[in-house]
Structure 1
Amino acid sequence: MLHPSGTLRAVWNLMVGAFVMYDLLVTPLLVFSLPEWLARYPMSLVVELFWSSDFVLTFFTGYYREGCLVMERCKVARHYAKTWMLFDFTLILIDWSVDVLDLLTQGSSFTQVF
């Protein structure tokens, strides 16, 4: 289990902030007709992998309840399920679904970027 105030989690939270800023800047730009490589790929894959990893990592990160540190996996999972899990899962599912639909409708343009 990760300590919510530990070094690894602190570094991860800095990365979360960076990815949130990226999403806040880039997502509105997707309304415009930008080149595919700029609008969706390959950074889209990096962002989706990061958020998917964050989803999993949250199950292994303790939390504080009334000033007490909770590090039991079952309680951590239950707490996440009752708070942000549905929201996080929905956003991740939407992101991956959009990319899969893009790949299916536009052929193999994603693989051409690499």
Structure 2
Amino acid sequence: LRGKSGDIRFYVTDPAVNTTWEFDPRQNLNDRQLSKMATRPDMIIYYVHRLREVLEANDIHDPIIQVEAWASLNGRPYQLLIDPDYNLAEAPEPVLASYDWIIPLQTELFAEGDFVPIEDIED
């Protein structure tokens, strides 16, 4: 694992008034923190839970928080990292387990036949 890059967007819905808006995490994260979080589901869920606490403290009760996170691993095409329809505000705190809101890697790094056996390489 050498290279990860990602992009992330947070969408908050106030169920009391059925209003959805995009929340900008740069309100309280710097660019480096946001870049690191964009490819780390564990960091994303911690951030979502903190955001839920802040929203509830501001009278937005039981907010729905959905995340659209795209990631690229080692030069692969970008793919969704997290199910964008999942309400992460209700997701459990992460432990060493798998979660249905994390989308498995879809693209192999190398296709069959991409490697040449070392003995076939000429000097």
Could you say which structure has the greater relative contact order, defined with CA pairs below 8 angstroms and 6 or more residues apart? 1
TM-score of the pair, normalised by structure 2: 0.27
TM (norm. structure 1) is 0.29
Which structure is higher in strand share? 2
Which has the greater radius of gyration?
Answer: 2
